[in-house]
Homo-oligomer: A and B are copies of this chain.
Amino acid sequence: MAVYTHLGAEQLEGLIAAYDVGALVSAKGIAEGVSNSNWLIETTGTRDERQRFILTLYEKRIDTNELPFFLGLLDHLAQRGCAVPATVHDRDGAAWREIAGKSAALIEFLPGVSPGKPTPAQARAVGAALAQIHLAARDFPLARCDDLDLAACTAMLASCGKERLAEIDPALAQTIEVAHAAAKHQPEGLPESIIHSDLFPDNVLMLGDRVTGLIDFYFACNGAMAYDLAVTHAAWCFDRNGAVLHGRLSNALLAGYESVRALQDDERAALPALAERACLRFLASRAEDWLETPSDVQVMRKDPMDFWRRLTVYREIGIDAFAKA
């Protein structure tokens, strides 16, 4: 949550001049994006009306070779009417440019704010928006592997080590075994598309109950659509610390999803195992961050226990976590 690279006004003005968007009026570094620097840009626009954009500078974690996938996906989905920001192309048609030795993309600004405490009506709308991107992405021609599949997450947990996991919380001593066990009952052969795989409320812009933007597709990859629904379920349907599953949010999310794309029986049956996998993924990345970040640093460390608690709920009540009320 920071701006890692300093860009002077002259550099920003030069960059913006390469696009047909008018002249630079304002640029504010914004506190979004975990591994990129982002600015909210305002320009004089092309039709006598100021326009806003997000400028993203890709820092080390994102491989420039993957930009055709990420930026092409946004264009593909936006063209099909999904609520995602389109990529602005420069005067030569390029989707990204070089600045300060890094790649930068200018992306459409979308209105909306991320819900802090989602309502059922909002969860329903997000379910529908998720299904829309799943259907629209099916004919996207590029592919990308999931870097954070269950094997990768199990390896992350193993490299943290049982002792250090237990230092975070004694309960976490069991996670490596739980991950091995979860691997044994993961479903195969479920219908796939491109999945967002990180659709937390922070990555959804809304105005009231309407989704105005799904953002931050930098974990998008090929994968089972039902897994993406399970990720979204874990991200939306619990209280913040993961102790309480809210049945009304769960019902609404699933109903919203199925209002656009009906789940197959095997997908529905797979949801508990997929949700365990989702929890293990966030647990693993948070545990790694927790152990790597000195505790005295003023950086928000996300508590891995929030996903241990969710995992416990899914393991205990299984398919009932997704049952209709």
Residues of A within 8 A of B (CB): 1-4, 6-13, 24-32, 40, 42, 109, 111-117, 205-207, 294, 296-298
State in angstroms the CA–CA spacing of A7 and B7 once bound together: 28
User: Could you tell me if B28 and A40 are in contact, using CB atoms closer than 8 angstroms?
Assistant: yes
User: Could you tell me if B27 and A113 are in contact, using CB atoms closer than 8 angstroms?
Assistant: yes
Q: Known contacts being A30-B29, A31-B2, is A10 close to B40, with CB within 8 Å?
A: no
For the complex formed, measure the closest distance between the CB of A235 and the CB atoms of chain B, giving whole angstroms.
15
Contacts of A206 in B (CB 8 A): 9
User: Could you tell me if A8 and B297 are in contact, using CB atoms closer than 8 angstroms?
Assistant: no
Contacts of A116 in B (CB 8 A): 6-11
Q: Which residue of B lies closest to A23 (CB)?
A: B207
Contacts of A13 in B (CB 8 A): 113
Contacts of A113 in B (CB 8 A): 9, 12-13, 24-27
Contacts of A2 in B (CB 8 A): 1-2, 31
User: Could you tell me if A32 and B32 are in contact, using CB atoms closer than 8 angstroms?
Assistant: no
For the complex formed, measure the closest distance between the CB of A1 and the CB atoms of chain B, giving whole angstroms.
6
For the complex formed, measure the closest distance between the CB of A114 and the CB atoms of chain B, giving whole angstroms.
6
Count of this chain's copies in the oligomeric assembly: 2
Contacts of A25 in B (CB 8 A): 111-113, 207
For the complex formed, measure the closest distance between the CB of A60 and the CB atoms of chain B, giving whole angstroms.
11
Contacts of A294 in B (CB 8 A): 294, 296-297
Residue from A1, A7, A26, A296 whose CB has the most chain B CB atoms within 10 Å? A26
Contacts of A27 in B (CB 8 A): 113
For the complex formed, measure the closest distance between the CB of A268 and the CB atoms of chain B, giving whole angstroms.
31
Which one of B29, B32, B111, B205 contacts A1 once the chains associate, using CB atoms below 8 Å? B29
For the complex formed, measure the closest distance between the CB of A43 and the CB atoms of chain B, giving whole angstroms.
10
Contacts of A42 in B (CB 8 A): 111
For the complex formed, measure the closest distance between the CB of A45 and the CB atoms of chain B, giving whole angstroms.
13
User: Could you tell me if B31 and A3 are in contact, using CB atoms closer than 8 angstroms?
Assistant: yes
State in angstroms the CA–CA spacing of A309 and B6 once bound together: 22
For the complex formed, measure the closest distance between the CB of A155 and the CB atoms of chain B, giving whole angstroms.
24
For the complex formed, measure the closest distance between the CB of A95 and the CB atoms of chain B, giving whole angstroms.
23
For the complex formed, measure the closest distance between the CB of A83 and the CB atoms of chain B, giving whole angstroms.
14
